[in-house]
Structure 1
């Protein structure tokens, strides 16, 4: 639960009577224990998904899929790092799927995660290291696995522009998956038998104001328009044939989908525009589709919490991807526990959140009195207090305070 500092080498020790080194050594042994595979360590996250999804989701359980690079180029002790682009872009790649409530956009848990290293791909759904795959090919397998889990609500898979691949969209539709993907402005769709770019089609749509939104802290208006289109273009695989030439584009069956265009206006000027394709039925309003895509930013916030705004993942000193992956799952469970407290709508939960934020010692904005990292910091402080009370009496604690505060006599 501890929100670590950048220079923290491991989890802080609770006041259970053991020395800090004993905690550090126990964590080191746990993270190097080969008998603790990732699927076993991910079981609590899966159990939480089965428990919470039926409670907090109405129509769909939203699944946000994304990729994030973990930079460890200064960590010379990690010998299984992989170079992703340039010379200093060295480390591991995190691939995560985050469950989010369609009711209010609150995160639930991350039931599937991968970590790519030079030795291959570590996955929470496989005990053995797998060969690395192209992003969307691996994502197709992850989506199929998530569909098999039967969390109690249909899944809606939401991906950013990297999933603008007609071959994969056709494949997911053929398997009966519901998806919502942001596409590039220049991707071709077919309307009345003619190919057109979404950016060229957008001006002719009828738009409806859906809600007030904040754009860089300023009040703005969101408008949404939609059209029925068909994907008829050929797939263009990036794979290279044995003769070294690019594979010939592959035709596919026409795929009827909906194009939803979301625009944000600030002082009469369009400052943001999204082009979204989905195979959701017409019964789902376009405004709700735009809102569900907006909820995708939860996975960006999750990565930020892991990397810089809370758990300082890129400063972890574990020397292998296996150890980092195990600690990552522990950190994810801490996030899931705090997310559950944030979702609870009771007077007791409100009081608990207020107390924990105060205990964390955070200066909060009036418009945002509770954050994930503040809750996690408060929870760790509370656990430390409870552990101290198990091993020290009130009189002993008061004596420690007296020793600290009383004038030192010569």
Structure 2
């Protein structure tokens, strides 16, 4: 998938009928379970996170597949009931300082089986889809056990009281954007308590280009305070603590450009916020959440095009989505590695045989001048990315760094060379 930039089984097989049948048999094999594929996501991540402060960023994406009224392919409803497909909830492990993607730390994939008749407020947490926020955080505690510190980051959907009550631990913190205006022990709600706080600071930040918003510089005002969330009165989960202390950081754009929606984030966190530096650090860590949006784009239209798959059953589509999720992470790691900001080992992506081929190519692709030589440490992802970029047509004297297309082209060439080298050993 990484090399051929597709999840289409026919294109992956490149016209070879036996290879195509092998892929189909693998996806149909009852011993190849969705749980086992997802369990394998985190195998390389466990070593990569050692000693780091890791941002464990989670979110949900709806993956819509083409269906007809006569053939839903066993898929449940997504897109507010207007389509059918799979829900994917991954957690990315990201280095807090560099923003480097370390791998997947956990998650789940599922399709809805039908309408739920019991009201949401009457169901226990374990019977709600929202339990995924808590369960995935628990997976991360195991996967990232060797990390120095873990900060779980969610968008507004993850703002549920049970998450605040159950997830934090001595080395596990939480940052979530406010969705529910929680009642607080201090009286009133989070929003009313913030309204009484003075503006503490202002700063300009760069907002990235998005489908619904062009890039721009935003002038933000900042407030922060400390509050205690009260357990909701109507929750059926009575075993949760009566209250949870949190720190609250608000940034708002008071004067957005004409016609633009102002940026307004209210961030709740278990990290201590005792100074302006602490507050802006929370904002900076939350801004890393955009990396998981990049992941979804890599998985969908701007990369592997998972929604184009024509597999006939939900069971096989779920496995394919889980496999493609790991492939999307590898693509992101290779693109990030080009800058050499992190010394992750090449073994995160490449097999021992492929690393041997990379060594041979590395010695042959280097020139005589310092600029023409691979500047990165031996057997790192950055060194491998330099080789792959060279194979894809990138020249060291180009002012722009190699992009995803260059890497895809380089990987295609590299795969052919690695296969040829393997055949030479037969």
What TM-score, normalized to structure 1? 0.73
1:223 Cα deviation from its structure 2 partner: 4.8
Please say if 1:35 is aligned against 2:31: yes
Note the residue ranges of structure 2 that are not aligned, 5 or more in a row: 115-125, 344-374
- 1:232 matched to which residue of 2? 230
Match for 2:271 among 260, 266, 280?
280
Question: Structure 2 vs 1, CA of residues 119 and 360 (structure 1 numbering), >3 Å: closer, same or farther?
Answer: farther
Counterpart of 2:388 in structure 1 is 356
1:82, CA displacement in angstroms? 0.3
Mark the CA change 1:293 to 1:95 in structure 2 (over 3 Å): closer, same or farther. same
Deviations 1:326-362 (A, max 9, x none): 3333323333334444344472465753553465579
Return the offset for 1:250: 10
Does 2:57 correspond to 1:64?
Answer: yes
Which of 387, 402, 407 aligns to 1:375? It is 407
CA-to-aligned-CA distance 1:234-271 (integer Å, 9 cap, x gap): 3544xxxxxxxxx7999962322111112357788993
More strand by share: 1
Q: C-alpha offsets along residues 170-205 of structure 1, whole Å, 9 cap, x if unaligned? A: 233489852111003x71454854445169627723
Quick one: structure 1 residues 356 and 291, their matched pair in 2 at CA, closer, same or farther if it must change by over 3 Å? same
Instruction: Name the residue aligned to 1:206.
Output: 200
Give 1:324 shift. Answer: 2.2
Which has the larger displacement, 154-163 or 344-353? 344-353
Instruction: Tell me, yes or no, if the aligned pair for 1:167 and 1:235 is still in contact at 8 Å.
Output: no
1:210–1:11 CA distance, 2 compared to 1 (3 A): same
Change over 3 Å in CA distance of 1:44–1:189 after alignment to 2: same
State the SS of the aligned residue for 1:54: coil
Classify 1:224/1:359 alpha carbon distance in 2 versus 1 (closer, same or farther; 3 Å).
farther
The question of 1:183 aligning with 2:184 is answered no
> Conserved in 2, the CA contact under 8 Å of 1:261 and 1:275?
yes
Task: State the partner residue of 2:291.
Answer: 298
Mapping for residues 97-116 of structure 1, pairs under 5 Å: 97-116=91-110
Preserved contact between residue 140 and residue 168 of structure 1 (Cα < 8 Å)? yes
Matched with 2:46 is: 50
CA distance in 2, matches of 1:367, 1:167: 50
Equivalent residue in structure 2 for 1:259, among 230, 243, 248: 248
Quick one: which of 383, 387, 392 aligns to 2:419? 387
Structure 1 distance, partners of 2:187, 2:266, is 20
Contact 2:133 2:158 in 1 (8 A): no
Say which of 154, 157, 164 aligns to 2:159. Answer: 164
Distance 1:10 1:202 in 2: 61
1:22 to 3, 10, 18: 18
Higher RCO by CA contacts (8 Å cutoff, separation 6 or greater): 1
Asked whether the equivalents of residues 3 and 373 of structure 1 are also in contact (C-alpha less than 8 Å), the reply is no
Contact 1:10 1:316 (8 Å CA) reproduced: no
Where 1:255 maps in the other structure, the secondary structure is strand
Say which SS state the counterpart of residue 271 (structure 1) adopts. coil
Q: Deviations over 1:284-313 (max 9, x none)?
A: 811111111111111111111111111111
Evaluate the alpha carbon distance shift between residue 272 and residue 370 of structure 1 in structure 2; reply closer, same or farther with a 3 A threshold: farther
Once residues 399 and 241 of structure 2 are traced to their aligned partners in structure 1, the CA distance between those partners, rounded to angstroms, is 49
TM score, norm. by length of structure 2: 0.71
Report how far residue 45 of structure 1 moved: 2.8
Q: Distance in 2 between matches of 1:235 and 1:229?
A: 18
CA distance in 2, matches of 1:188, 1:211: 28
Give the 3-state SS of the residue equivalent to 2:59 in structure 1: strand
Contact residue 67 and residue 93 of structure 1 kept, 8 A: yes
User: RMSD of the alignment, in Å?
Assistant: 3.9
Partners in 2 of 1:265 and 1:369 — Cα distance?
36
Q: Do the aligned partners of residues 308 and 199 (structure 1) sit closer, same or farther apart at CA in structure 2, a change above 3 Å counting?
A: farther
When residues 138 and 333 of structure 1 are mapped into structure 2, their CA distance, relative to the original with a 3 A threshold, is: closer
Distance 2:240 2:330 in 1: 46
Show structure 1 runs of 5+ residues with no match: 121-131, 238-246, 393-410
Q: Counterparts of 2:392 and 2:82 in 1: how far apart (Å)?
A: 35
Q: CA 1:306–1:223 in 2, change beyond 3 Å: closer, same or farther?
A: same
- Say if 1:92 and 1:208 are closer, same or farther in 2 by CA, change over 3 A: same
How far apart are 1:159 and its partner, in Å? 1.0
> Is residue 3 of structure 2 the alignment partner of residue 2 of structure 1?
yes
Match of 2:326 in 1: 333
Matched residue, 1:309: 302
